[in-house]
């Protein structure tokens, strides 16, 4: 009788130890399960590509956009991914969607279009912090596509054109300012010597005369003609008046 009891106790203890061993996390290979007591859940440790569907977002400057993204994550603790959350993949997707709308809703449209790298890093950090208790490691979050309404696209095009025109006018004004400054310096050099002004005038006439396709009427300073006029008034050598 005692022997039978001992056998039963040993069998029960063996079954209990087997159940405890089967209840722990197993790695790759063969795993023993107790029929009717254990349930096996397979968890992949590979990196998962999770596509975030397009989300309706209103940016900080009140522009409605549709943003699609993708996140990459992997399970680093299979036990917590099964015990702490019912469906870690679906939960990660929900967290990613919520975080995407929240973070991008605080950014202006210009930042959304030109500072994607900074926004990607911010999204990755926030999502990773929220999924870390589940044994999930989010490695990368990338904003894939930003859809802007057509009227807003036209407005952005007009804004870009106005900005280009503004820069062109500023550059032109800067060139005029520099040219005026150089002319003022040249005037300071020329003004002490009137002959220099006449020589510069003659040089300008020579440059104009190179173009024979048109007729140009220009004034002639009296100072340049005075020697010719005075020479014409002098009496000839033969006494003719």
The C-alpha angle with vertex 214 and arms to 227 and 175, in degrees rounded to 5, equals 85
Rounded to the nearest angstrom, the gap between the alpha carbon of residue 209 and the centroid of all alpha carbons in its chain is 55
Angle at 49 between CA 107 and CA 114, to 5 degrees: 25
Q: Is 212 a domain residue?
A: yes
Residues contacting 17, CB < 8 A, separation 6+: none
Shared domain check, 135 and 198: no
Neighbours of 179 (CB within 10 A): 10
Domain presence at residue 177: no
Domain boundary among 148, 172, 201: 148
In this structure, the answer to whether residues 115 and 196 fall within a common structural domain is no
Instruction: From 148, 182, 216, give the residue that closes a domain.
Output: 148
Number of CB atoms found within 10 A of residue 148's CB: 17
Q: For residue 97, what are the domain limits?
A: 48-148
Residue 72 lies in a domain: yes
Give the count of domains, the chain: 2
Q: Is residue 18 part of a domain?
A: no
Kindly tell me the burial class for residue 97, based on how many C-beta atoms sit within 10 Å of its own C-beta (0-12, 13-18, 19 or more). Answer: middle
Does 134 fall in a domain? yes
Same domain, 122 and 197: no
Cα-trace Rg, the chain: 44
Looking at residue 80, which CATH number applies to its domain? 3.30.479.30
CB 91 within 8 A of CB 122: no
Q: Supply the pLDDT for residue 241.
A: 46
Q: Are 126 and 196 contained in the same domain?
A: no
Q: How far apart are CA 28 and CA 31, in angstroms?
A: 8
Cα 20 to Cα 13: distance, rounded to the nearest angstrom: 10
Co-location of 70 and 144 in the same domain = yes
Indicate whether 52 and 138 sit together in one domain: yes
- Element containing residue 51 per DSSP (H, E): strand 48-58
Residue 58 sits in the same domain as residue 121: yes
List, run by run, the mean pLDDT of 10-residue segments along the chain (241 residues).
66 62 58 64 87 91 90 92 89 94 90 90 94 94 88 75 86 88 80 71 72 67 60 55 46
H or E element that contains 80: helix 78-83
Do 133 and 198 fall within a single domain?
no
* Cα gap 131→127, rounded to integer Å: 6
* pLDDT score at 135: 93
User: How far is CA 208 from each of CA 28, 159, 172, 221, 225, rounded to the nearest angstrom?
Assistant: 92, 42, 25, 16, 19
Do 66 and 139 fall into the same domain? yes
Is 198 within a domain? yes
pLDDT of residue 131: 94
> Within this chain, do residues 144 and 203 fall inside the same structural domain, yes or no?
no
């Amino acid at each position: 009788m005692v022997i039978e009891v001992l056998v039963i106790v040993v069998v029960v203890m063996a079954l209990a130890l087997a159940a405890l061993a089967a209840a722990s996390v197993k790695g790759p290979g063969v795993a023993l399960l107790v029929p009717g007591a254990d349930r096996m859940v397979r968890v992949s440790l590979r990196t998962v590509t999770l596509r975030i569907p397009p989300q309706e977002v209103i940016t900080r400057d009140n522009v409605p956009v549709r943003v699609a993204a993708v996140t990459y994550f992997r399970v680093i603790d299979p036990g917590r991914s099964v015990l702490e959350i019912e469906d870690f993949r679906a939960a990660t997707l929900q967290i990613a969607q919520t975080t995407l709308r929240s973070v991008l809703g605080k950014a202006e449209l210009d930042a959304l279009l030109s500072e994607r790298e900074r926004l990607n890093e911010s999204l990755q950090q926030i999502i990773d912090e929220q999924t870390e208790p589940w044994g999930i490691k989010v490695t990368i979050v990338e904003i894939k596509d930003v859809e802007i309404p057509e009227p807003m696209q036209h407005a952005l095009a007009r804004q870009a054109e106005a900005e280009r025109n503004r820069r062109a006018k500023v550059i032109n004004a800067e060139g005029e300012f520099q040219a005026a400054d150089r002319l003022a310096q040249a005037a300071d050099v020329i003004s002490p010597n009137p002959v220099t002004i006449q020589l510069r005038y003659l040089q300008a006439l020579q440059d104009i005369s190179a173009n024979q396709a048109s007729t140009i009427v220009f004034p002639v300073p009296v100072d340049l003609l005075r020697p010719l006029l005075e020479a014409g008034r002098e009496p000839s050598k033969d006494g003719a008046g």
